[in-house]
């Protein structure tokens, strides 16, 4: 029984007992034990932008609202104050795309069926400190797919598109993102793209479905989207999605960011454009895979340095107070700032087209900076792709 219902029952009992004999009145129920207060994690320390191992940044700090150029590669410093971009607002006369949602049931899927979940966080494996021992159980789950179709889409043509992770829930579409795309498309800064926002299967990190989908170093999640999600988008909304990998982008925050890079890394024939915010390029893969023992930390420690450059265009951002060792693993592979710094460094050394934005006075997810930098990030990520004339 919930607390409000319990309060109502006690109040009514008091009224009806008012005329009863005192001896018939039951003794008051003992007070329930206090609920332990959730202990907040301490705020991660601020990591200086000029610390050893940090890229040499082009400095734009101290200029609120100023972003890096949308056609230049390299490392940039912004903040500590931010100004939301006007492109998120509805503008009179700008055609608005359509936003719709549908649900996928895991029981109807071939991959990631059933899902997994854990009851308690795992313990470090005494035989391998790079991984955890986690007890999991299977679950059924539903995920929401949110689809934005631009007003400029011409039926029967193949549209470029962007896949975003951690998509909104049913009945709560992200209209800010839709308005942003409306404006950028009309300004001819991005192509008239479809946006496919995919929610995860629940939970977070090791032992949960979200962790299995986003942190696993393989092409499996990209294959799930390709074979099970995109056909439903085309069927439900009468659109055709391009097969050209140059016309396909993927985007995410935190583990959604690592998922974005994982998708393109393992399937560059499907995706070539990657946008990450606070990318989880750390050791969070579970279960342990001896082929990629460091999880996504392996991107900058091994995979990118030791692999011939792939045809990827990668935009990254991190906050100077981003996450640091959020769990019991102390493997020196759980610093989000260090991980992003290292990734930018190896991308530069291998000659990739990349842009890295270091956000002062910002934490995990870059919440305060996101509304300033995201329009420029989308414009940068689509550079080189032909933008058709729009009405």
Distance of CA 63 to the CA centre of its chain: 27
Pick the closest to residue 194 from 255, 146, 227 (CA basis). Answer: 146
| 389, pLDDT greater than 60 | no
Q: Which helix (H) or strand (E) holds 378?
A: helix 367-381
Identify the three-state secondary structure at position 349. Answer: helix
The pLDDT confidence band at residue 123, using thresholds 50, 70 and 90, is confident
User: CB 371: neighbour CB atoms within 10 A?
Assistant: 17
Cβ distance 97 to 150 under 8 Å?
yes
Distance of CA 189 to the CA centre of its chain: 23
The pLDDT confidence band at residue 293, using thresholds 50, 70 and 90, is very high
pLDDT for the residue 165: 97
Q: Does 3.40.50.1820 match the CATH number of domain 58-381?
A: yes
Q: How large is the angle between the packed helices 175-186 and 367-381, nearest 10 degrees?
A: 40
| 15, pLDDT greater than 50 | no
pLDDT for the residue 11: 32
pLDDT, greater one: 360 or 132: 360
| 125, pLDDT greater than 70 | yes
Average pLDDT over residues 224-240: 98
CA–CA dist 87, 173 (Å, integer):
18
Strands 115-118 and 123-125: unpaired
Identify the three-state secondary structure at position 117. Answer: strand
Sign of CA dihedral 165, 313, 248, 89: positive
Q: Kindly list the domain boundaries of the chain, sorted by start residue.
A: 58-381
The pLDDT confidence band at residue 336, using thresholds 50, 70 and 90, is very high
CA distances from residue 383 to 58, 71, 80, 135, 179 in whole angstroms, order as listed:
20, 7, 27, 45, 20
Cβ distance 352 to 312 under 8 Å?
yes
| 155, pLDDT greater than 90 | yes
Q: Which helix (H) or strand (E) holds 362?
A: strand 353-363
């Amino acid at each position: 029984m919930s607390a409000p219902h319990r309060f109502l029952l006690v109040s009514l009992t008091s009224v009806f007992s008012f005329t009863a004999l005192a001896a018939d009145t039951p003794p008051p129920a003992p007070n329930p034990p206090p609920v332990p207060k959730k202990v907040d994690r301490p705020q991660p320390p601020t990591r200086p932008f000029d610390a050893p191992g940090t890229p040499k940044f082009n400095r734009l700090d101290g200029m609120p609202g100023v972003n890096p150029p949308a056609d230049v590669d390299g490392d940039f410093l912004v903040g500590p104050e931010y100004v939301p971009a006007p492109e998120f607002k509805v503008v009179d006369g700008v055609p608005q795309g359509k936003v719709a949602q549908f649900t996928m049931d895991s029981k109807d899927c071939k991959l990631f069926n059933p899902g997994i979940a854990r009851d308690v966080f795992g313990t470090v494996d005494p035989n391998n400190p790079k991984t955890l021992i986690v007890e999991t159980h299977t679950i059924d789950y539903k995920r929401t797919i949110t689809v934005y179709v631009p007003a400029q889409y011409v039926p029967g043509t193949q549209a470029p598109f962007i896949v975003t992770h951690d998509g909104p829930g049913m009945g709560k579409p992200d209209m800010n993102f839709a308005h942003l795309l409306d404006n950028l498309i009309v300004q001819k800064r991005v192509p008239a793209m479809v946006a496919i926002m995919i929610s995860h299967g629940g939970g977070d990190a090791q032992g949960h479905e979200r962790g299995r989908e986003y942190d696993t170093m393989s092409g499996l999640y990209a294959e799930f989207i390709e074979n099970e999600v995109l056909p439903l988008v085309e069927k439900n909304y009468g659109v055709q999605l391009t097969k050209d990998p140059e016309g396909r982008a993927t985007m995410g925050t935190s583990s959604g960011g690592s998922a974005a890079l994982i998708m393109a890394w393992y399937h560059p024939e499907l995706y070539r454009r990657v946008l990450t915010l606070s990318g989880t390029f750390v050791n969070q893969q579970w279960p342990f895979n001896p082929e990629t023992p460091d999880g996504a930390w392996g991107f900058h420690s091994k995979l990118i340095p030791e692999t011939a450059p792939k045809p990827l265009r990668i935009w990254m951002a991190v906050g100077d107070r981003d996450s640091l060792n959020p769990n019991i693993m102390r493997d020196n592979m759980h610093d989000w700032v260090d991980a992003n710094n290292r990734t930018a460094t190896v991308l530069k050394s291998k000659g990739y087209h990349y842009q890295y934005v270091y956000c002062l006075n910002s934490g995990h997810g870059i919440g305060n900076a996101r509304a300033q930098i995201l329009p420029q990030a989308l414009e940068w990520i689509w550079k080189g792709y032909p933008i058709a004339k729009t009405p």
